[in-house]
């Protein structure tokens, strides 16, 4: 009792373990809507070209819509014997419309079919990712705008370095997520290419009108080489690569949120709704969302390694290895979208402790560079000024005080160029507002950056 669409030349049934092993239905059922959309366009094109009749196309398309309904109502029965979503749908179509279902696969192979399905799916998901990235960027810009003026320590080597505006720090992430959006927009162009009509690998003898199928499916272009079209998964590798970079941005932001919400920093408090407790330590309130996003970034980087390793060294054209492309791709889409959405919801639920940040910026000699700049401004060569300021730091450090705790007399021992105006020069706020270079942390620059972002995001700032 053979029962496979491809079993004509087989005399034995497939081993049960092989059926389970080769089946991909648990994963690729995600593609059911794209698969049906692609088939309906294929039918309409074939009817238009007289390869099948209009009546047949009509019956088959209606049948496919009923199958879609069955899947969406959860009545559909999946079985490993039918391998993948393509064969499930074709077999269910046979149950609905009878023998005419056998005409659906004319001039088509599962090789170009699956390539088409993934592209239809990924185009939609890429657009959704781009939209949600914009929503996240709006939340970031709003938060930067709301807390404009709050000063915090900026770090290098995780050591306090120079004071910056909290908004400037946050807007750095705006830049990262903006680049992520641009990357997705760019790779979308290469995903938006229609492979159907390549058939198994060489094209087909049926007079398919590929241009019509492209139009019906809303693709920008058709593929130019049938062998490439059925072998190409660059678009999936690109998507996962861009997603991995985006997740790395999230992992860095997550790390900062984890640190900032600790008692050691106390810069932020994440609201109760976005934290969880400990089953043993009653006092605990943990930044789990950030920790999980940080952890999930590892999974997405792993997915990138997986798909690249699957594709590596594959000879043309289709190889069954490529069936393994879907798990890393779907997992990446789901993980990335969930991470973007949860951060978009969480950021407005974070309290910013401006006073604590500012106190931290006032301690740890964050004004040492500016003392050197002060002396340089008064005529001392910078290298010498650097050394003078360094000696002043060592002197203050030995007394357990900050530079501004020293008297003018004490400071003048390091250089006669020092005058009373140094006190005002070295306040945290003034240090920030003097960093006026394009892209710097000065209030004026950051206000401009926020305003520019608001224009780019087409949003109002309250």
Nearer to ligand ARG, 28 or 56 (CB): 28
Closer to ligand ARG by Cβ: residue 6 or 206: 6
162 is a contact residue toward ligand ARG (CB under 6 A): no
CB-CB neighbours of 55 under 10 Å: 10
Helix spans in 49-75 (H): 54-72
- Rounded Cα distance between 66 and 421, Å, is 81
322 sits near ligand ARG (criterion: CB under 6 A)? yes
User: What are the structure tokens assigned to 346, written together?
Assistant: 């969480």
Q: Is 394 helix (H, G, I), strand (E, B) or coil?
A: helix
Catalytic residue among 11, 157, 263, 313: 157
Q: Which of residues 263-282 bind ligand ARG (CB under 6 A)?
A: none
Counting residues that bind ligand ARG (by CB under 6 A) gives: 10
- CB of residue 165 vs ligand ARG: minimum separation in angstroms? 50
Residue 111 found at the interface with ligand ARG (CB under 6 A): yes
Q: Binder to ligand ARG among 52, 104, 114, 165 (CB under 6 A)? A: 114
Q: Which is nearer to ligand ARG, 5 or 266 (CB)?
A: 5
Q: Does 89 bind ligand ARG (CB under 6 A)?
A: no
CB 351 within 8 A of CB 271: yes
Q: Which is nearer to ligand ARG, 83 or 370 (CB)?
A: 83
* CB of 307 vs ligand ARG, minimal distance in Å: 13
* Largest pairwise CA distance in the chain: 102
Query: How far is residue 380's CA from residue 374's CA, in Å, rounded to a whole number?
Result: 9
Upper half-sphere CA count for residue 381 (Cβ side, 13 Å): 2
Whether 74 contacts 281, CB under 8 Å: no
**Distance in Å, CB of 203 to ligand ARG, minimum:** 16
Report the alpha-carbon distance of residue 269 to residue 275 in Å, rounded.
10
Q: According to the binding rule CB under 6 A, does residue 24 interact with ligand ARG?
A: yes
Rounded to the nearest whole angstrom, what is the least distance from the CB of residue 309 to ligand ARG in the complex?
16
Q: How open is the CA angle 287-291-293, to the nearest 5 degrees?
A: 120
CB atoms within 10 A of CB 159: 8
* Cβ-based nearer residue to ligand ARG, 23 or 167: 23
Chain residues binding ligand ARG by CB under 6 A are 24, 28, 84, 110-111, 114, 318, 320, 322-323
Q: Which residues are catalytic?
A: 157, 278
């Amino acid at each position: 009792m053979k029962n496979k669409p491809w079993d004509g030349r087989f005399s034995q049934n497939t081993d049960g373990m092989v059926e389970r092993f080769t089946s991909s239905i648990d994963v690729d059922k995600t593609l059911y809507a794209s698969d049906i959309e692609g088939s309906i366009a294929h039918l309409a094109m074939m009817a238009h070209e007289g390869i099948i009749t209009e009546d047949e196309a009509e019956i088959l398309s209606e049948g496919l819509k009923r199958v879609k309904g069955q899947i969406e109502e959860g009545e559909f029965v999946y079985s490993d014997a039918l391998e993948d979503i393509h064969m499930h749908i074709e077999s269910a179509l046979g149950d609905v419309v009878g023998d005419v279902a056998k005409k659906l696969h004319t001039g088509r192979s599962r090789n170009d079919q699956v390539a088409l399905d993934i592209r239809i799916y990924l185009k939609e998901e890429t657009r959704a990712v781009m939209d949600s990235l914009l929503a996240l960027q709006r939340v970031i810009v709003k938060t930067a705008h709301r807390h404009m003026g709050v000063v915090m320590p900026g770090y290098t080597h995780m050591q306090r370095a120079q004071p910056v505006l909290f908004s400037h720090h946050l807007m750095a992430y705006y830049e990262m997520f903006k680049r992520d959006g641009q990357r997705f927009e760019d790779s979308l162009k290469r995903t938006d290419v229609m492979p159907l009509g390549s058939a198994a690998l060489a094209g087909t003898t049926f007079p398919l009108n590929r241009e019509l199928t492209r139009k019906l499916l809303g693709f920008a272009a058709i593929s130019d080489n049938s062998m490439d079209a059925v072998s190409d998964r660059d678009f999936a590798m690109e998507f996962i690569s861009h997603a991995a970079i985006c997740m790395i941005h999230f992992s860095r932001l997550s790390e900062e949120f984890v640190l900032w919400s600790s008692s050691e920093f106390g810069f932020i408090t994440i609201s109760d709704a976005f934290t969880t407790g400990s089953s043993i330590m009653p006092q605990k309130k943990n930044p789990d969302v950030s920790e999980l996003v940080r952890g999930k970034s590892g999974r997405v980087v792993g997915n990138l390694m997986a798909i690249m390793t699957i594709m590596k060294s594959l000879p043309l054209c289709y190889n069954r290895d490529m069936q393994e492309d879907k798990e890393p791709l779907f997992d990446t889409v789901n993980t990335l979208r969930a991470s973007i959405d949860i951060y978009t919801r969480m950021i407005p639920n974070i309290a910013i402790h401006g006073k604590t940040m500012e106190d931290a910026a006032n301690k740890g000699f964050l004004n040492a560079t500016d003392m050197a700049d002060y002396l340089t401004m008064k005529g001392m060569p910078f290298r010498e000024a650097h050394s003078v300021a360094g000696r002043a730091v060592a002197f203050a450090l030995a007394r357990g005080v900050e530079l501004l705790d020293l008297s003018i007399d004490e400071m003048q021992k390091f250089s006669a160029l020092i005058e009373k105006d140094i006190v005002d020069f070295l306040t945290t706020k003034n240090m920030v507002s003097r960093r006026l270079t394009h892209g710097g942390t000065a209030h004026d620059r950051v206000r401009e950056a926020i305003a520019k972002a608001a224009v780019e995001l087409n949003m109002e700032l309250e």
